[in-house]
Amino acid sequence: MPAILPKPRSSFAQTLENEGISLRRAEIETLQLNLGKLCNLTCSHCHVNAGPKRKEIMTGETMAKILAWYEEHPIPIVDLTGGAPEMMPHFRDLVDGLKDRNPAARIIDRCNLVILNEPGYEWVGPYLERREIEVVASMPCYSAENVNAQRGDGVFDRSISALKELNVRGFGQGDPKRPLHLVYNPGGAWLPPDQAALEEDYKRELKTHFDITFDRLFALANLPVSRFASYLRRNGEFEEYMELLVSSFNSATVEGLMCRTTLSVDWQGFVYDCDFNQMLGMNLRADDRPLVLWDVDPTSVVGKPIQVGEHCFGCTAGCGSSCGGSLA
Ligand code: SF4
Ligand code: SF4
């Protein structure tokens, strides 16, 4: 009979143990729904491997089950991501359904901006304005060269045009009903700079050159997962980047890690600790069966341990990284 080897322990788990930290779930504040891998872009840093040819997309049936669950469990923040979440055919039904069940919910659309000016998606700007959706938009730099290198030719100009439209619609002007936040991530294998200083630079440059305003900048690290991991391997930078992340471990970031307060759900309804664990197939399980959202009572996961791996060093390096920016 073959020997059963113990599951290898990640050095991230060992690092937490050495620091005397037990990473466990707190009360769920955010329901993050990844609506699928379909996207109009194919960015080099994408941890979802999203693109225009991907077929994985949430169906109306799955959406209905999620809405039925949400009626029982109106989690205060719902964070819609993808892919391009607006490309899910039932996007508006989903948002309307969430708003009907919890009018006070803070609903976030993780928007790539360019979708606003894709043919057939002219409804996106007016809809986000009417339903008062919080927009968190990818904008990895205020220079055309860097944005186009990471996201594709012409993306910078189209992003600027979408930001101008959002400003005209009242987003990014300090109105709590229509927040507009931008997301920076590095163009390669380095950590983000100081978030507050970078926000000042973004605000100055975008105002001076394009008369664009926004509310906050979130500086995110690139996690060594999916397309960004392949990019690192192709360039022979994977080991060096991991060494940077490991040597930059900052225990002060652990308290704010998003996995402590988030339920991450994929396009089929399966549940994870975060979007990165989702991409790595690290499902929440019970009796060795992957859980779907409608199996989960959010109070029952409080205090449960979180599944970690080497990629987690990307969230704890330096100032830390989460969907809401730096952590320390
Ligand atoms: S990073 Fe965002 S916009 Fe770019 S391909 Fe991935 S999901 Fe699409
Ligand atoms: S990748 Fe980050 S958010 Fe996800 S489980 Fe690891 S530390 Fe938590």
What angle, 0 to 180 degrees and rounded to 10, lies between the N-to-C axes of helices 226-234 and 238-247?
Answer: 120
Q: How far apart are CA 234 and CA 308, in angstroms?
A: 25
C-alpha angle 290/281/58, rounded to 5°?
75
Domain containing 79 equals 27-239+255-306
Cβ of 308 less than 6 Å from ligand 2: yes
102 within some domain? yes
Q: Which of 105, 205, 166, 300 is nearest to 96 (CA)?
A: 105
Provide the domain count of the chain: 1
CATH code for position 297:
3.20.20.70
E strand map for 158-288: 180-184, 216-219, 262-265, 271-272, 285-286
Query: pLDDT tens track of the chain, all 328 residues?
Result: 444 444 556 799 999 999 999 999 999 999 999 999 999 999 888 889 999 999 999 999 999 999 999 999 999 999 999 999 999 999 999 999 999 999 999 999 999 999 999 999 999 999 999 999 999 999 999 999 989 998 999 999 999 999 999 999 999 999 999 999 999 999 899 999 999 999 999 999 999 999 999 999 999 999 999 889 999 999 999 999 999 999 999 999 999 999 999 999 999 999 999 999 999 999 999 988 999 999 999 999 999 999 999 999 999 999 999 999 999 8
The answer to whether residues 58 and 35 touch, using CB atoms and an 8 Å cutoff, is: yes
Q: Which of 32, 110, 16, 25 is nearest to 316 (CA)?
A: 16
Which residue do the tokens 């040597």 mark? 247
73 within some domain? yes
Give the distance (Å) from ligand 2 centre to CA of residue 201. 29
Q: What is the dihedral of CA 257, 328, 133, 44, to 10 degrees?
A: -80
C-alpha angle 255/262/17, rounded to 5°?
40
Cβ of 257 less than 6 Å from ligand 2: yes
- Using most ligand atoms within 8 A of CB, pick from 258, 312, 323, 326 the residue to mutate for ligand 2: 312
15 within some domain? no
Q: How far apart are CA 81 and CA 34, in angstroms?
A: 5
Cβ neighbors of 25 (< 8 A, separation 6 or more) are 259, 260, 261, 273, 301, 302, 303, 304, 305, 306
Give the distance (Å) from ligand 2 centre to CA of residue 73. 23
| Nearest ligand (C-alpha, residue 275) | 2
95 backbone dihedrals φ, ψ, rounded to 5°: -65, -45
246 within some domain? no
323 within some domain? no
Q: How far apart are CA 250 and CA 165, in angstroms?
A: 39
Cβ atoms within 10 Å, residue 53: 9
What angle, 0 to 180 degrees and rounded to 10, lies between the N-to-C axes of helices 155-168 and 195-210?
Answer: 80
DSSP 57: B
pLDDT digits (tens, 9 = 90+) for 250-289: 999 999 999 999 999 999 999 999 999 999 999 999 988 9
The answer to whether residues 246 and 240 touch, using CB atoms and an 8 Å cutoff, is: no
Q: What pTM value is reported for the model?
A: 0.95
Buried b (16+ CB within 10 A) or exposed e, 79-109: bbbbbbbbbbebbeebbebbbebbeebbbbb
135 backbone dihedrals φ, ψ, rounded to 5°: -105, 125
| Nearest ligand (C-alpha, residue 272) | 2
Q: Which of 133, 324, 150, 134 is nearest to 228 (CA)?
A: 150
